[in-house]
Amino acid sequence: MPSRVPWRILSAAALTGALVAGGPWGSASAAEGGGRSIDGSAVAEAGVPGTDLARSSLDLVFAPGGHWVHATNFAVAHSTCDGCRSVAASIQVVVVRDKGASVDAGNAALALNEGCTSCESLADAHQVVLLVGPRTTLAGWVHQAVQQLRAELADLVASDLPLPELQQRIDALADRLQATAESALTEHGSARASARADLAGPLAAPVP
């Protein structure tokens, strides 16, 4: 069982302002001082009465080594309309090819119902960081596997499942992504290290 890494809650405004567009493998950019910055996010804000809004993000990032790695992942679901529902899920697995890298990982989820009746919100965020050796390779088949999981997550958050069941299924899909990543790695050397931070935003229960 991997150990948990610290996570922190950010304000909704800060989270919205921190959006970074990523490619099919997520976002991994070089930064000053030989570090790497990796970002993942999903934000759903329902504001039209009687509507449902779902947003999802699922990324497997294979990053070269550096002196440090900064990885952030968050999900925000915000409902402000009567009879509406917002669901946001963000799942991130980061593989860093440097066991000596300094890792700063932040994972957060926020679900909020505001000024509405018969509304509900769910935010779910999962983050896993795997530290492996510099000679580690990633199997080519994993690209298609990640695309399939990403499509499954998009369909899942858009479903009309009850929130508790929906959260369980999102959590199970996050476990599948981690298992997929680990099975796709071939490492020459000692065993890899891992760290995991999961955060399901408190279910914003329906308002009578």
Q: What is the pLDDT of residues 69-93, one digit of tens each?
A: 889 999 999 999 999 999 999 999 9
pLDDT of residue 85: 94
- pLDDT cut 90: percent of the chain above it: 52
Cβ atoms of 44 and 158 within 8 Å: the answer is no
**Which tokens sit at 193?**
């290290």
Cβ atoms of 20 and 39 within 8 Å: the answer is yes
The residue among 111, 92, 116 whose CA lies nearest residue 163 is 111
d(CA 47, CA 103): 37
**3 state SS of 157:** helix
* pTM for the structure as a whole: 0.76
The residue among 185, 197, 158, 177 whose CA lies nearest residue 59 is 177
Residues 129-181: tens digit of each pLDDT: 988 888 888 899 999 999 999 999 999 999 999 999 999 999 999 999 999 99
pLDDT of residue 20: 25
Half-sphere exposure of 101 (CA within 13 A, CB side): 33
Whether residue 16 is predicted with pLDDT greater than 90 in this model: the reply is no
Q: How confident is the model at residue 198 (pLDDT cuts 50, 70, 90)?
A: low
pLDDT of residue 134: 87
**Which tokens sit at 87?**
């669901």
Whether residue 10 is predicted with pLDDT greater than 50 in this model: the reply is no
Residues 42-62: tens digit of each pLDDT: 999 999 999 999 999 999 998
The residue among 64, 119, 70, 114 whose CA lies nearest residue 92 is 70
